Structure 1
Amino acid sequence: MKKLKNEKELLKKALQVGQDYAVKRGYKTFGPTDSADQKAECIYRLLVNDKLLTPLPADQENGLHMRQRLAKWIAGKLPADHPLLK
């Protein structure tokens, strides 16, 4: 998968948006000891389950690819003039 410009910041934004979405769906918030990888995997699986995100092939389903998929997902949701997309 090609690396996105500002991928780290896009992932942070995706985790924020994903966490807000999860809370609205009735999930409890993440704990302070939950790692970013755990949050990313949980949000990825929720979005795939709700058919908001295309699932990765089974052989590529790992933390790196999940984070990249989340960053790409949020990049597609942001307005074209958003600072993270420049």
Structure 2
Amino acid sequence: MRIPCPYCGERDAQEFVYRGDASVVRPDGEDGFYNYVYERDNPAGPLAEHWYHAQGCRTWIVVTRDTRTHAISGAVLAKEAAR
């Protein structure tokens, strides 16, 4: 799989570390923490995911990937996606 890094261009997935679903928000207190850690949806289709470019520019990016086909439709810096 090839991942388009905003800084380095298209790179092999082996250069990246996968973190998971980018839409999940950590709860403030203990309420809901169990669900945050253990109960996640596993959607089929497009999903925004966090990836860390460990072997390149060392930045976090949000990659939009179809979980059925692994087709990537885009990637942006995580700090821009958080806005």
TM-score tier, shorter chain, comes to under 0.3
Point out which structure has higher relative CO (alpha carbons under 8 A, 6+ apart).
1
Give the number of the structure whose residues are more often helix, by fraction.
1
User: TM-score when scaled to structure 2?
Assistant: 0.28
Larger radius of gyration, structure 1 or 2?
Answer: 2
TM-score normalized by structure 1?
0.27
